[in-house]
Amino acid sequence: MLYRGIEYSVVQGIVRRHWKWAATVSGTKISGYGGTRDEAIGNAEKAIERAIQKQRFKQYLDGEDR
């Protein structure tokens, strides 16, 4: 799947009602889970958004955005 240019995957776990997601943002691996597929997708997209914002803030502090 793709969100804001970041590819991520969502797979069903072995346990019932357990969906796992994983992505890599700027070389940093992030992962999590959700009770349903839609919840896992939402959690993944929120985490990707946070990782992108964190990256932009770090670039701003380092002076790369100016």
Query: Is 39 among the domain residues?
Result: yes
Tell me whether residue 66 is in a domain.
no
pLDDT band at 63 (very low <50, low <70, confident <90, very high): confident
Its domain, for residue 19, covers 2-61
**Contact of 37 with 19, CB cutoff 8 Å:** yes
**10 located within any domain:** yes
Q: Tell me, what amino acid is at 20?
A: K
Domains: count for the chain: 1
In a domain, 52, yes or no: yes
CATH code of the domain in which 23 resides: 3.30.160
The answer to whether residue 15 is domain-embedded is yes
CA-wise closest residue to 22 among 35, 9, 12, 40? 9
Residue 41 contacts residue 10 (beta carbons within 8 Å): yes
Task: Give the torsion sign (CA, 47, 29, 6, 35).
Answer: negative
Q: Over the stretch 2-56, which tens digit does the pLDDT of each residue have?
A: 999 999 999 999 998 999 999 999 899 999 999 999 999 999 999 999 999 998 8
